[in-house]
């Protein structure tokens, strides 16, 4: 097994995710004119698009979309399996666009004369984003391991290195386009003021729930509402099905499973590399950033000298007894570690730059380095602890292995028992087969696809099987979170439209919601108009029954009770002067009107501390804006000239397939 894949921790996941998505990586850049015409044919079956004669196949799009969907699904936990078809459908168009964009950018880079030499590809693999995978510690993992790692992702060295070459070309094109991006001091000052100005205000709140409480619609009003919304109620009662099932309970099976010492030893021997603990060092640092290059690509040497002087001064303070954590929190420019006293946690070899690693490796535990200059700035490093490379013993990992083996054994046994029960159910009937095995049979009520099967909880695979089955079909089996269910479909109720009486309570709730929303909007507008006319928000609030509240001094990213985030409509408060009264503000289920009491401008000291960070953010935003314009124009021109040909039918077929279960 390849060493990298045996390494534990989030870094492996991040790098592998990047590798998996390499082929569908898309970089958004800006357009350079001069696209010629193309004579290549229309894409055929199985081809989603042609870019300058290069085919992008349905299989490539499908694989890229699957990777995107699976990555996105991880955030949904137990619901991931149910959401995967929907996420696949969403990801298919994105994946196609990214693959087309990528090939278009490569074509444009080549047209401009950019090349990626074999040496540049080699340098990228050895020193770039893939160095940790293929050259851990600066040493090549070996040709066999290199090929093996690529094969696990259906890549050959030739296809992978060609893809790396294309990324280098795109990088060169990106540098050409973004080289002109710059940010003025005035823009930095304006953004700083916008982000750091604080306001204090009084505000009047009207609640939709209070308005709803006063609504008492008559039967005639509700019937009229029902009639006017007939289309939305058509077939709103979903198809429902009724089953009987016998469950092979995985927990009961697992309770009877025994794991022997030989089982543990065999698993440990087969997975020894998983239990290697690499040499690691726990470090903290204080980082003073290197100034960024100017518009001409050069770094201001005066800025470099100033950064080093700041680092030297911090080192002197440490030598004179200052606490490392206090200085890191106050002065370190690493936002990811400064708030925890500069701690970077445990790091392995080759996870930091060469200069940083050399300094950290030479320091005894508890000692602080001098000022270490790296490509990204000046660091003061403290080694907090060390851990030598070693192998965890079987005794240490026994608690991890035993549940895995019990689960594996129980899964195999339960699956076999379910298969035996299903076979007997097909010949003897489910009731007789279950009775012979001592397994109870449960008959459900009617349930829809969105319901939970009584006694089983979420069971997406069972739901798929039940709603795919035809009436009077033989017994079938499906896995659930509890084990394996052998089931038989008993009856089907088709979708139907509810009568007024059946849906009266729902219609009443919808009527109240709709009417209360309209009244809230009208009443909030009236509140604002009165307050502005009378120049008195408190008086207007009292007249209309609104509740008056007062905020603290709050920043643009702050939260205020009954308003929520100030990044929405309430952001208008930061454009107002003391005494100004706002128009109506929609804050979800509340209507709000604001009267500004105080505006607090940020200080020059704050500006000095945040200037570089704001500059970096604005510059990145401007570069992305250029990228977006470039790719939009590039796609448009290449499609017009015939260099990009898209097979819309193939793309539609892929999108439809992505929404189907099991796609």
pLDDT in tens, 496-519: 999 999 999 999 999 999 999 999
Please tell me the CATH code under which domain 240-265+395-493 is placed: 3.10.50
According to the model, what pLDDT value does residue 331 have?
A: 93
Supply the mean pLDDT for the chain: 86
Asked whether residue 12 carries a pLDDT value surpassing 80, the answer given is no
Domains 3-181+623-658 and 279-388 share a fold: no
DSSP letter at 581?
B
pTM summary value: 0.49
> Is the Cα dihedral 452, 455, 457, 461 positive or negative?
negative
User: SS3 sequence, 213-264?
Assistant: HCCCCCHHHHHHHHHHCHHHHCCCECCEEEEEEEEEEHHHHHHCCCCCHHHH
User: For a pLDDT cut of 70, what percent of the chain falls above it?
Assistant: 90
Asked whether residue 29 carries a pLDDT value surpassing 60, the answer given is no
What distance, in Å, lies between the first and last C-alpha atoms of the chain? 30
Asked whether residue 597 carries a pLDDT value surpassing 80, the answer given is yes
Asked whether residue 155 carries a pLDDT value surpassing 50, the answer given is yes
Q: Which residues of 273-307 are buried (b: 16+ CB within 10 A; e: fewer)?
A: ebbeebebbbbbbbbbbbbeeeeeeeeeeeeeeeb
Q: Give the side-chain half-sphere CA count within 13 A for 533.
A: 8
According to the model, what pLDDT value does residue 528 have?
A: 97
Distance of alpha carbon 638 from alpha carbon 34, whole angstroms: 10
Residues β-bridged to residue 386: 281
Please report which confidence band the pLDDT of residue 537 belongs to, taking 50, 70 and 90 as the band edges: very high
Task: Report the relative pairing of strands 280-289 and 585-587 from DSSP bridges.
Answer: unpaired
Asked whether residue 21 carries a pLDDT value surpassing 60, the answer given is no
pLDDT in tens, 229-251: 989 999 999 999 999 999 999 88
Phi, psi angle pair for 31, to nearest 5°? -90, 135
Alpha carbon separation from 144 to 134, 148, 156 (Å, rounded): 11, 6, 12
Nearest-Å Rg of the Cα atoms of the chain is: 32
Of the candidate ranges 66-70, 106-110, 557-561, the one whose mean pLDDT is the lowest:
66-70
pLDDT in tens, 200-222: 999 999 999 999 999 999 999 99
Domain spans, the chain? 3-181+623-658, 198-234+500-600, 240-265+395-493, 279-388
Please report which confidence band the pLDDT of residue 294 belongs to, taking 50, 70 and 90 as the band edges: low
According to the model, what pLDDT value does residue 662 have?
A: 43
Asked whether residue 477 carries a pLDDT value surpassing 70, the answer given is yes
Distance of alpha carbon 126 from alpha carbon 132, whole angstroms: 8
3-state secondary structure of 586: strand
User: For a pLDDT cut of 90, what percent of the chain falls above it?
Assistant: 57
Please tell me the CATH code under which domain 279-388 is placed: 3.10.50.40
Please report which confidence band the pLDDT of residue 82 belongs to, taking 50, 70 and 90 as the band edges: low
Joined together, the tokens standing for residue 14 give 């991040």
3-state secondary structure of 530: helix
Asked whether residue 393 carries a pLDDT value surpassing 80, the answer given is yes
The CATH T-level fold of domain 3-181+623-658 is: Triger factor/SurA peptide-binding fold (1.10.4030)
Distance of alpha carbon 431 from alpha carbon 486, whole angstroms: 11
The mean pLDDT of 512-536, rounded to a whole number, is: 96
């Amino acid at each position: 097994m390849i060493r990298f894949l045996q390494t534990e921790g989030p870094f492996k996941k991040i790098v592998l995710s990047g590798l998996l998505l390499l082929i569908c990586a898309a970089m958004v850049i800006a357009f350079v004119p001069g696209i010629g015409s193309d004579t290549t044919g229309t894409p055929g079956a199985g081809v989603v698009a042609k870019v300058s004669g290069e085919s992008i196949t349905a299989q490539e799009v499908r694989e890229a979309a699957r990777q995107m969907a699976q990555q996105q699904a991880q955030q949904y936990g137990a619901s991931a399996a149910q959401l995967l078809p929907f996420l696949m459908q969403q990801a298919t168009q994105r994946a196609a666009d990214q693959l087309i964009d990528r090939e278009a950018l490569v074509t444009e880079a080549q047209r401009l004369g950019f090349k990626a030499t074999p040496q540049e590809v080699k340098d990228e693999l050895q020193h770039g984003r893939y160095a940790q995978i293929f050259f851990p510690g600066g040493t090549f993992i070996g040709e066999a391991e290199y090929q093996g790692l690529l094969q696990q992702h259906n890549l050959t060295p030739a296809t992978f290195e060609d893809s790396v070459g294309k990324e280098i070309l795109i990088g060169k094109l990106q540098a050409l386009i973004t080289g002109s991006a710059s940010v003025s001091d005035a823009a930095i000052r304006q953004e700083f003021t916008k982000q750091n100005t604080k306001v204090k205000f009084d505000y009047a709140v009207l609640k939709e729930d209070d308005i709803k409480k006063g609504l008492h619609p008559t039967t005639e009003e509700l019937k009229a509402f029902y009639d006017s919304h007939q289309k939305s109620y058509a077939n709103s009662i979903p198809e429902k099905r009724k089953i009987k099932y016998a469950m092979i309970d995985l927990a009961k099976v697992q309770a009877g499973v025994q794991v022997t010492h030989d089982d543990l030893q065999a698993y440990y021997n087969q997975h020894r590399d998983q239990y290697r603990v690499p040499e690691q060092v726990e470090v903290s640092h204080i980082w003073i950033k290197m100034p960024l290059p100017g518009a001409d690509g050069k770094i201001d040497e005066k800025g470099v000298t100033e950064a080093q002087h700041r680092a030297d001064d911090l080192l002197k303070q440490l030598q004179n007894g200052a606490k490392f954590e206090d200085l890191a929190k106050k002065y370190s420019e690493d936002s990811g570690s400064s708030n925890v006293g500069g701690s970077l946690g445990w790091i392995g070899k080759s996870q930091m730059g060469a200069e940083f690693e050399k300094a950290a490796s030479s320091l005894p535990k508890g000692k602080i380095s001098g000022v270490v200059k790296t490509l990204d700035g000046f660091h003061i490093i403290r080694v907090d602890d060390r851990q030598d490379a070693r192998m965890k013993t079987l005794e240490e990992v026994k608690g991890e292995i035993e549940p895995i083996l019990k689960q594996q054994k129980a899964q195999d046994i339960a699956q076999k028992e379910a298969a035996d029960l299903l076979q007997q159910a097909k010949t003897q009937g489910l009731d007789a087969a279950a009775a012979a095995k001592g397994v109870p049979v449960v008959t459900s009520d009617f349930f829809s696809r969105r319901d939970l099967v009584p006694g089983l909880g979420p069971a997406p695979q069972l739901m798929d099987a039940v709603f795919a089955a035809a009436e009077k079909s033989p017994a079938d089996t499906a896995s659930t979170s509890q084990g394996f269910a052998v089931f038989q479909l008993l009856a089907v109720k088709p979708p139907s439209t509810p009568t007024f009486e059946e849906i009266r309570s729902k219609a009443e709730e919808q009527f109240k919601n709709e009417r209360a929303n309209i009244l809230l909007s009208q009443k909030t507008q009236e509140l604002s108009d009165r307050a502005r006319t009378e120049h008195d928000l408190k008086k207007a609030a009292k007249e209309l029954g609104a509740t008056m509240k007062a905020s603290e001094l709050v920043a643009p990213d702050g939260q205020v009770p009954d308003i929520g985030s100030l990044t929405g409509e309430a952001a208008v408060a930061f454009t107002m002067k003391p005494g100004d009264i706002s128009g109506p503000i929609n804050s979800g289920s509340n209507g709000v009107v604001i009267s500004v009491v105080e505006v607090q401008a940020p200080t020059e000291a704050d500006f000095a501390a945040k200037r570089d960070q704001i500059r970096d953010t604005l510059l990145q935003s401007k570069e992305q804006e250029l990228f977006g314009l470039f790719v939009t124009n590039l796609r448009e021109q290449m499609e017009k000239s015939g260099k990009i040909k898209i097979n819309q039918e193939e793309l539609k077929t892929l999108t439809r397939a992505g929404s189907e279960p099991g796609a």
